[in-house]
Chain A
Amino acid sequence: MSQFQKSIFQKKLQKAEQALGFDFSEELEDQEEEQDNSSSPFAKDAPLPTAKNGPLLSQLLKNSQQGAEANTTGLTSSFKYQKREDIKPKEWCEFFEHSKVLEQQETGNKFQIYYSLPNSNSSPIFIFHHGAGSSGLTFAVLGKQIEQYLATESPHPKIKPGILVFDARNHGKTKVAENDYSRNSFVKDFSFILKSYLDELDPLFKDVISKKEADPQLIVPPIMLVGHSLGGSVLTEALHQYNGMKDGYFSKLVELNIIKGLVMFDIVEDTAVESLAHMNKFLNSRPKGFRSLKIAIDWHIKSNFLRKGESPLVSVPALLMPVEDNDPDVDSSLFKYKWRSDLRLTEPFWDTWFTGLSGGFVNAPVQSKLLILAGNDNLDKRLMIGQMQGKFQLIVFLESGHFLHEDLPNKTAISLIDFWKRNFKPNEKKIPILWGHMRN
């Protein structure tokens, strides 16, 4: 379970490093002074940090990595800004194979999606839904990490995952005519996007429903839905709304067990509802625009939204658009970039966003569920009961901020891959039943 994370990650990180000659360690900004202690973190004399806020896990990770003589040849994932000049915005194409705009015929809504296709029926499919105010590219680095890990782990035959991210309504480059931000609208959009992707873009899923109905034994890549924050709530709600409906593509995907897993990143119903009260304060406090993308990236890091690393270089530019000369809201002489999403327009819908989320997650009609939280294990009552009854897996990233997939893309990637392997990978690990074979 989650709770084993630390030592599992230590091992896996080290293994991956050795295999690749890479350094996958994720550094904290305030942790750049080197630790010269290389003993095991649990050895009797190893000094442990004495403050709660200290980046304990990373410190321990780092200690053990030094013990293993981890090298620092540097790669995308051990990204460290050496100088300010390193803050160079990145494009989607470094992370995904395809970019496409899906147009919904009846509404004219245009959805921006980015995706990479799986290479075989044994590949896992990860479908991501971002949270409010974010964009699909928040998962860019994570997607790439998943791909890299799988390529390293299974070179022959190579397993390449399917990854789909998209910009939700009036986020990023997705344009929708109406200002309806109710959870139901997000659910409908998601169902449309998922169907379009599976039906039209991914050859492995061509006519999957009729094929699977004809042959229930047919092996189809397992689909895992992964939502961050509001995205987690949308996905959970989608599973419930479409579950048990007589017709419809999405309900068939659930019924035929093609959608197998549900993963949420840092979302707990009670905490989310409480924090909505602070949303306005937050919206008032953030700048209206930025003079450059570099400054915008810097602002996100300095205000502790995102950890310094590769992810903000691609995720932050996706949140912004150039300011026109006669922009009514933002003074173009002051700012070159402004926010793409106007979050204030979403306020009337906040009360719909998280209702019933925790119970919905615990009872979601999928085979396996995973919740990854950042910072602490502050579960609400329903999640607490569900967890202590063993209904889902919980992982806590103590040392991460709210955007845990951006702060710790490596750990997040490992967690998702483990989740897939343990639950859905065909022939991965037969349960080693020794009963009847050993007698005293």
Chain B
Amino acid sequence: MVDIDRTIELIKNSKHVPEEDVKEICQKVQEILIEESNVQLIYPPIVVCGDIHGQLHDLLILFEKNGQVPNSKYLFLGDFVDRGFYSVETFLLLISLKLRYPDRIYLVRGNHESRSITMVYGFYDECLRKYGSVNVWRYCCEVFDYLSLGALIYGSNSSGGDGTGNGVFCIHGGLSPYIEYVDQIKHIDRKKEVPHEGAMCDLLWSDPDDVPAWAVSPRGAGYLFGENEVKKFLYSNKLNLIARAHQLVMEGYKELFNGGLVTVWSAPNYCYRCGNVAAVLRIDDYLNRDYGLFDAAIKDVDAIPSKNPAAEYFL
């Protein structure tokens, strides 16, 4: 039986976690995640966080600044892995905390929590490099399939932001032309690899943009949606905010459409080169918003090894 508190300490100190322990943690956390709904209902106060992408040291700063679990309650909006060099530790820390404090930390799935994506963007290679086999990658991918797709944060009835609604819909990507009501998400069979199209894909891939109606996304998956869609969705579902991640925001967060939607990005100096700050969204009992900004832990970019040597020739 793995000592979860000890494992959490190991990870925080960047120490190696044995493969056997990883296996056990992954299996155990699945038992918790399987009980969770596709859209989890959560009560504030809570700290909502965007993409982390394997930047373990920045995640530790995030916890330091906003309170350790279980003192503070957290919702992470996916994209825990890939691109950063500590994806294994980042994901392990998050699921270990989930295992230890299941009602103090919530995890929803991002488009990078996927087998095909992690094979291209680093997590697969990192598992192979650190464990000598892809077993750890495989255990983690199984956990991905159990992650819920979104969350609803409900406020107390007395006050609700602009007064029209009383809740925050939280998702990694955005809206889907298939999903008009939050309840419809409950019908999705989520325990699978992220599909290439359809509602589940859109929720993890779509982006808000200045468009008059639904439009094709330049990303090649999901859609673009505009102010009209956001207004309708908020109204139909009696909400006052959509909180999502998925897009790099140089200033850490960005509110759009008269404050009806916010993008939160929690990976400072993304991939050790983008020069952005990071943010979390703190939501209080009355659904008031407050943003906490933070900077990268690792300042010396040259200390980060280049992932790939330069090409030998270029023609």
Contacts and interface: CB of A to CB of B under 8 A. Distances in A.
Interface of A: 1-8, 42, 44, 48, 50, 52, 56-57, 131-134, 229-230, 271-272, 274-276, 278-279, 281-282, 343, 368-370, 375-378, 380-381, 384-385, 388-393, 395-396, 398, 402, 418-419, 422-423, 431-436, 438-440
Closest 7 CB pairs of A and B: A1-B220, A388-B248, A275-B314, A393-B220, A282-B313, A274-B310, A1-B221
24 contacts: A1-B219, A2-B120, A4-B221, A6-B119, A8-B196, A42-B193, A48-B134, A50-B134, A57-B119, A230-B315, A272-B314, A275-B310, A275-B311, A275-B313, A281-B312, A282-B313, A377-B122, A378-B307, A381-B275, A385-B274, A389-B248, A390-B247, A434-B178, A438-B181
B116 A432 contact: no
Given A390-B207, A434-B180, A435-B232, A229 B120 contact: no
A7 B313 contact: no
A440 B183 contact: yes
Nearest to B265: A388
Contacts of B117: 3
Interface stretch (B99-107, B125-133, B148-156): B125-133
Contact of A376 (B141, B232, B308): B308
A281 B217 CA distance: 42
Given A44-B138, A385-B248, A438 B310 contact: no
B214 A369 contact: no
Given A8-B196, A50-B133, A433-B214, A278 B220 contact: no
B205 interface: yes
Consensus secondary structure, chain B interface: loop
A278 B218 contact: no
A430 B313 CA distance: 44
A275 B312 contact: yes
B177 A278 contact: no
B311 A278 contact: yes
B207 A398 contact: no
Contacts of B119: 6, 56-57, 398
B193 A377 contact: no
Contact of B274 (A52, A229, A384): A384
Contact of A229 (B215, B232, B276, B315): B315
B271 A384 contact: yes
A3 B112 CA distance: 9
Contact of A392 (B122, B177, B218, B247): B218
Interface in B188-212: 193, 196, 205, 207
B223 interface: yes
Contacts of B43: none
B110 to A, nearest CB: 12
Nearest to A392: B218
Contact of A431 (B177, B184, B312): B177
A393 B312 contact: no
Nearest to B224: A390
A382 to B, nearest CB: 9
A385 to B, nearest CB: 5
Interface of B: 111, 114-117, 119-122, 125, 128-129, 132-134, 138, 141, 177-178, 180-181, 183-184, 193, 196, 205, 207, 214-221, 223, 229, 232, 246-248, 250, 270-271, 273-276, 307-308, 310-315
A439 B119 CA distance: 39
Nearest to A432: B177
Nearest to A130: B315
A241 B164 CA distance: 49
A272 B121 CA distance: 20
A278 B314 contact: yes
A419 B315 CA distance: 25
A389 to B, nearest CB: 5
Nearest to B198: A432
A133 B315 CA distance: 6
Contacts of A282: 312-313
B50 to A, nearest CB: 11
Contacts of A343: 315
Nearest to B51: A388
Contact of A369 (B122, B218, B232, B307): B218
A391 B116 contact: no
Interface centre among B216, B220, B246 (most CB of A within 10 A): B220
B264 to A, nearest CB: 14
A423 B310 contact: no
A436 B180 CA distance: 8
- A1, A3, A431, A432 — most chain B CB neighbours (10 Å): A3
A3 B114 contact: yes
B219 A377 contact: no
B269 to A, nearest CB: 10
Nearest to B128: A52
Contacts of A433: 177, 214
A431 B214 contact: yes
A280 to B, nearest CB: 10
Of B121, B132, B315, the most chain A CB neighbours within 10 A belong to B315
B221 to A, nearest CB: 4
B214 A229 contact: no
A423 B248 contact: no
B273 A390 contact: no
Nearest to A438: B180
A274 B310 CA distance: 7
A133 to B, nearest CB: 4
Contacts of B314: 132, 229, 271-272, 275-276, 278-279, 402
Given A6-B116, A377-B120, A378-B308, A422 B274 contact: no
Nearest to B310: A274
A392 to B, nearest CB: 6
Contact of B116 (A5, A229, A271, A380): A5
Contacts of B313: 275, 278-279, 282, 402
Contacts of B122: 377
Most chain A beta carbons < 10 A, residue from B180, B181, B193, B232: B180
Contact of B219 (A7, A271, A272, A393): A393
